[in-house]
Amino acid sequence: MPMKILNPNHESSLDLSAIWPNIAVMIMQKQGLKSITLTNEDCERHTSDDVCMAIAQDDNGLHLTLIPEAEGRALAKEMGGLPN
């Protein structure tokens, strides 16, 4: 299932769409994983959990945070990603 992007024109969203494989590799290495399997059930659970990812970047790095979808929608509206 495709991930919902609440603020597709935000700089962070545009940057991540091009480099997501690199980010997946870094996360796997950080967790000590050599492989990972995402099952159909994982994908179904993702779409039913009503969560989204907030992305922020600062001098310390790239911050990926899972937040409730309602909070993500509010943030996207605040940053101009969703109509009022």
DSSP code per residue over 20-78:
HHHHHHHHHHHTT-S-----HHHHHHHHHTTEEEEEEEETTEEEEEEEEHHHHHHHHHH
What pLDDT score does 83 carry? 60
What pLDDT score does 57 carry? 81
What pLDDT score does 1 carry? 46
Domain boundaries, the chain: 11-78
What pLDDT score does 38 carry? 86
What pLDDT score does 50 carry? 83
What pLDDT score does 48 carry? 65
Q: Which residues of the chain have pLDDT under 70?
A: 1-15, 17, 47-48, 81-84
